Structure 1
Amino acid sequence: MMRFILVLAVLALSCAAVAEGFGHASSEPPAVFDKRSYTDAKKAADAGKKWFIVKATAVWCGPCKKMDATTWVDDKVIKWVKDNAVAVVVDVDKQQDIAGDLAIEAMPTMIAFKDGQEFDRVVGYKAPAELLEWLEGIARGEKSIEAVKKKAKGGGGGKEDIQARFNLAKKLVQDGQLDLATDEYIWLWQHMLEHNPAMYGVRGSFMARDMKRLAVRSKEATQKFTLLRDRTGQEIQNSKVDPDDLSDWLVLNNVIGDRKATLDWFDKVKDQGKWKPLLARQALNLSPILIEENRWADVARLYPDPMQQLDRDHELFRLTAERHGPDEETRKIMEESSSRFFRERVAQLYAALLAAAREKEAQTYADQARKLDDSAAMVQSLVSTALDAGQARTFHLDWLQSETIKKAKLNSDDEAALKDLRTRLDSAIKKGGDARKESK
């Protein structure tokens, strides 16, 4: 169970981390960036024999805004760019064609061009000293992957710097060395936890996500990851299978896009009592797939004790929300991200309980959830998700007329969303009636 919590914590923190770094950054790019168009700025850089530096960003990218507020206003960074380069901003949402041509997959991404050709790129937040080190390195003709490789070699003595090797795998993908990246990811998958057990949550979430992206780009990666999956899943038909091996098999199915294998296995074992404990331990891997397949009643099978799960989710929310940001504004954004994650988790399990005709449990669960979070947002999340799952109830109309909703201070967008939800709910009930009647 502790490993389940570790993975869930990583996912929750990732939601909050999106907000980190918002701070008080201006909506305008820092003055270090050229105001000309991408094409004109690139021509100017080529004509002046300067580096052409591209920063790929998005208005919702927290680390990007943090760099704008710190790194890109640093005096040394500004001087280097002024003396050696022309730098521009590419908004991946507003300039999708350019972002596509540059193969931007994450933000922030910094790309250095020389004489019209890409020389190197780095991804992720960089403090002033880190960015300056990269800029000075490219000026010397050094590519960032060399430093990453050097660090990944470790200090000998059998010790491995797992984070460094993870960074190397990602950097190899960025540089288009997909075969080498595949081999690095396979090594990490097989040996990461031997050297750093604390990486369990990262392995099953962020790294698995990166492996999936790699598999989409490389047939060889898909083939090798499939062999890895097949070796891992040799004992999955045995109810005494190691839970970690089963989890690995399910995660690797997702990596290679083999949802059918997961669903076929689930359908074979779901009604066998001896599998119930293992299914509960795999809820995090199975729930998203079942929800996407609109198999809400099956989701409920994964949670034999909804109230215990609610307590766990709320404790995780509390711990995540207590993370301190660099300022009050950031802290509030992170807390809201954590709250949203908690509400989504709660609403999904509530809808699943309704779909499974576990009405009394669903009511008790929802009542307690609304005590833990007495916001209008919680009510809307519960009703909206139930509606999406085809589980509209007539009493949901009463919920949307409750004092919680009436007392809420809603902005115009929230008011519009609430009105739309009421309309959809009313229409669903008039068209199909209370879903309880349909399920009987």
Structure 2
Amino acid sequence: MNFRRWRFVAMAGCIGAGLGPPQVTAELFSSLSFDGACEQAAEENKLVLVEVSTAWSRDGKKMKESTWADQRVLDWVRRRAVAVRVDADRDPAWALAHRVAVFPTVLLMTAEGRELARLAGFTEPSALVGALDQADREHGSRPASRPATSRAAPNPLARQIEARRLAEQGDQQAALNAYLWCLDEGWSVDPAYAPIRNSLLLRELAELGRSFPPALEALRERRDAAAARLRQGRETPDDAVIFASINRQLDEEERTVALYDELLLKPTPPATLSQVARLCFTPLLVQRRYRDIQLGYPHLFEDAMREFDYYAQSAELADRYPHMTRQEFDRTRLANLREKVCQYYEVLVAIQAHEAADKLAA
């Protein structure tokens, strides 16, 4: 038997024995964004199923080959949900906001984004269908229809993810508009969004500005407006944080120190002075401006002890960082604690507050 005939017979035997290529099925997961999936689910009176995974997750690959190819799973999802995937490497903010630390994790949610079920790690087809069925039953009957306009207020994190997608597709103006909505309105819509807004969002805006100058102009405009309000004593609660955070992303932290110097030279409410001092503590420390730090920290020892207590609350704080293992969290927490204690100790010794320094060291 020649090689070509032998290969044909072997392939035929495998296919006949059920060992051939798996049956090709239509794509289960939509290419929609999470927000787009919520809108479609609302229109079709369905739930939203999200698989959060990464390209390197072994269990994610295993589920793709087995669970997501199982006919029972395919039937359930197509009948009752709009399914989307979230890549945690590309969208770490989404995973963090939804407290996903294990990959893959499957979330079943309402069209408004309320979580109904969560399955972390590899899940067998029968277990997945059983859990989804139970969650759907407990959720109860849904209205026959739900217009998209009845959805809850926009999710700022979802808008940020959409802005990132628009930037990747080259629609820079639309991306900027979405990012600026998150910056200007996101905090008022969801106060828990503030840490992401003041760090990751500003970083993404600064990155967009490298190829799209209007993004940098928008950042500088908001920073300068915040600085003006701080100088005039008309600041909003987050003006100082936004001012310093934008400077940090633009590598212009000297502007934060310069504003602090201005405020030192004129009558400034103690609360405002203290807030700006905290935001330029490290640059002032590097410059060994210990007395200027003290002017912004009238109760330096008490502030140091509050900082110590904050980092010492391991059990309470660990739940806020689901993307980290407990071991990683404790290691980071202890490193931050040591750094802060050393910084405060250096200032206390420099201003000759030796008794307070000894108490802190103890």
Given the two structures, how large is their TM-score scaled by the length of structure 2? 0.55
Measure the CA separation in 2 of the matches of 1:213 and 1:297.
36
For residue 250 of structure 1, give the secondary structure of its aligned residue in structure 2: helix
Equivalent residue, structure 1, for 2:293: 299
Equivalent residue, structure 2, for 1:213: 207
Measure the CA separation in 1 of the matches of 2:182 and 2:168.
17
1:188 deviates by 1.1
Q: Highest CA radius of gyration, 1 or 2?
A: 2
1:290-330 CA-to-partner distances (Å, cap 9, x unmatched) read 3455645533433221222123212221334552699xx94
From 227, 234, 247, give the equivalent of 1:233: 227
Measure the CA separation in 2 of the matches of 1:284 and 1:171.
35
From 341, 346, 367, give the equivalent of 2:341: 346
**2:104 is matched by which residue type in structure 1?**
A
Question: Could you tell me whether the CA contact under 8 Å between 1:269 and 1:275 is conserved in 2?
Answer: no
**2:247 is matched by which residue type in structure 1?**
N
Residues 1:368 and 2:359 aligned together: yes
For residue 353 of structure 1, give the secondary structure of its aligned residue in structure 2: helix
Equivalent residue, structure 1, for 2:104: 127
**Distance of aligned partners of 1:325 and 1:183 in 2 relative to their CA distance in 1, 3 Å threshold:** closer
Residues 1:319 and 2:313 aligned together: yes
Question: Could you tell me whether the CA contact under 8 Å between 1:314 and 1:342 is conserved in 2?
Answer: yes
Question: Could you tell me whether the CA contact under 8 Å between 1:70 and 1:127 is conserved in 2?
Answer: yes
Equivalent residue, structure 1, for 2:64: 77
Question: Could you tell me whether the CA contact under 8 Å between 2:206 and 2:249 is conserved in 1?
Answer: yes
Equivalent residue, structure 2, for 1:116: none
Measure the CA separation in 2 of the matches of 1:161 and 1:182.
17
Equivalent residue, structure 1, for 2:20: none
**Distance of aligned partners of 1:179 and 1:285 in 2 relative to their CA distance in 1, 3 Å threshold:** farther
For residue 160 of structure 1, give the secondary structure of its aligned residue in structure 2: coil
1:222 deviates by 0.7
**Distance of aligned partners of 1:123 and 1:201 in 2 relative to their CA distance in 1, 3 Å threshold:** closer
**Distance of aligned partners of 1:325 and 1:249 in 2 relative to their CA distance in 1, 3 Å threshold:** closer
Measure the CA separation in 1 of the matches of 2:62 and 2:340.
45
Aligned residues: 247
Question: Could you tell me whether the CA contact under 8 Å between 1:321 and 1:339 is conserved in 2?
Answer: no
Measure the CA separation in 1 of the matches of 2:266 and 2:276.
15
1:156 deviates by 4.3
**What residue ranges of structure 2 are gaps of 5+ in the alignment?**
1-52, 69-86, 108-119, 122-147
**Distance of aligned partners of 1:268 and 1:330 in 2 relative to their CA distance in 1, 3 Å threshold:** closer
Within 5 Å, give how 1:233-312 maps onto structure 2: 233-272=227-266, 274-291=268-285, 295=289, 297-312=291-306
**What residue ranges of structure 1 are gaps of 5+ in the alignment?**
1-65, 82-105, 111-121, 133-153, 372-440
Measure the CA separation in 1 of the matches of 2:356 and 2:341.
12
1:213 deviates by 3.3
For residue 303 of structure 2, give the secondary structure of its aligned residue in structure 1: helix
Equivalent residue, structure 1, for 2:352: 359
Given the two structures, how large is their TM-score scaled by the length of structure 1? 0.46
For residue 261 of structure 1, give the secondary structure of its aligned residue in structure 2: helix
Measure the CA separation in 2 of the matches of 1:241 and 1:75.
53
**1:238 is matched by which residue type in structure 2?**
Q
Residues 1:335 and 2:330 aligned together: yes
Measure the CA separation in 2 of the matches of 1:128 and 1:217.
35
Query: Whose relative contact order is higher, 1 or 2, with alpha carbons under 8 Å and at least 6 apart?
Result: 1
Measure the CA separation in 2 of the matches of 1:370 and 1:347.
9
Equivalent residue, structure 1, for 2:83: none
Measure the CA separation in 2 of the matches of 1:238 and 1:223.
22
Measure the CA separation in 1 of the matches of 2:257 and 2:301.
26
Which has the higher mean CA deviation after the structures are superposed, 122-131 or 217-226? 122-131
Measure the CA separation in 2 of the matches of 1:283 and 1:334.
27
Measure the CA separation in 1 of the matches of 2:63 and 2:88.
23
Q: CA RMSD in A?
A: 4.2
1:226 deviates by 1.6
Measure the CA separation in 2 of the matches of 1:197 and 1:324.
17
- Identity in percent: 18
Question: Could you tell me whether the CA contact under 8 Å between 1:225 and 1:256 is conserved in 2?
Answer: no
Question: Could you tell me whether the CA contact under 8 Å between 1:290 and 1:299 is conserved in 2?
Answer: yes
1:284 deviates by 3.9
For residue 165 of structure 2, give the secondary structure of its aligned residue in structure 1: helix
**1:334 is matched by which residue type in structure 2?**
F
